[in-house]
Amino acid sequence: MKISAAQIQPVKGDILKNIENHILLIEAAVNKNVDLIIFPELSITGYEPELAEQLSIDYKDPILDVFQKTADENKINITVGMPTKFNNQLLISSIIFQPEKEREVYSKQNLFPTETGIFSKGSSFCQLEILQNKIALAICYDLSDPMNSLEAFRMGSNIYTASVLNSVNGIDDDLVKLSDIAAKYHMNVLMANFSGESGGYQCAGKSSVWSTDGSLLGQLTSEDEGILILNTDNGQVEKIYLQ
């Protein structure tokens, strides 16, 4: 299986422009026969908590239909980040598009302290099954809760993914945490982060992938947009940067 972390520089609050940029990265992944591509936290809007209420949608909103069409036509699985509304709750969500299946949604279960007055917590763990692989989805602060990765292990996940906004000040701690998760539970781990600026943070980039022993297999630069691809069959990693 080939799984990819997408590193993108978001345009603040510009849903259509960000969708356009997502498609460029997905096309690059399709050209490399990627089976699953993971985007960062709130990738469609940028990480902009003060705008989340006005930008939020139902996860089935037709504005995202282009991703389902792309998944169906290219047999690729896609997760994108979006603020969603459900039962009058505002959630930080990953919306999941799988070929010829109804879209799904996973909402962040562990909120960063600055998010608690704005967003509600998601209520359930999420695991995808693709080509005999079980892939756990986490969003940013989820990875700091040991119970999240433990549940992934208990559910038989062999891949753990984290869609994040990580700043230059916070990246090093999370790189260590993700390496530790990989080593402790013998899972491949993948992190997708922003480059550029979002939510007042200078984003760190460095989207990364780890082997099942916790060693770093590959990492993108701090500034560029691109994709990091892991072939889980042989441990080979490829980097593709947008020009």
pLDDT of residue 20: 98
**38 closest CA partner among 130, 149, 168, 156:** 130
Q: Give the per-residue pLDDT at 134.
A: 98
- Report DSSP state, residue 234: T
State the Cα torsion 234-141-194-52 to the nearest 10°.
140
Report the pLDDT value the prediction gives residue 153, as an integer from 0 to 100.
Answer: 98
Domains and CATH numbers, the chain: 2-241 (3.60.110.10)
What's the average pLDDT block by block, 10 residues per block, for the chain (243 residues)? 98 98 98 98 98 97 98 98 96 98 98 96 97 98 98 98 97 98 98 97 98 98 97 97 87
Task: Give the C-alpha separation, 158 to 186, whole Å.
Answer: 7
Task: Report the SS3 class of residue 123.
Answer: coil
CB atoms within 10 A of CB 137: 23
For residue 229, what are the contacts with CB-CB under 8 A and spacing of at least 6?
Answer: 2, 3, 4, 29, 32, 34, 237, 238, 239, 240
Q: What size, in residues, is the chain?
A: 243
- Which residues have C-beta within 8 Å of that of residue 84, sequence separation ≥ 6? 56, 57, 58, 59, 90, 91, 93, 95, 105, 107
Cβ contact 86:68 at 8 Å: no
What pLDDT sits at residue 243? 75
Q: What is the pLDDT of residue 217?
A: 98
Which residues touch 14 (CB under 8 Å, ≥6 apart)? none
The pTM (predicted TM-score) of the whole model is: 0.97
**Residue 176 has which token pair?**
């260590």
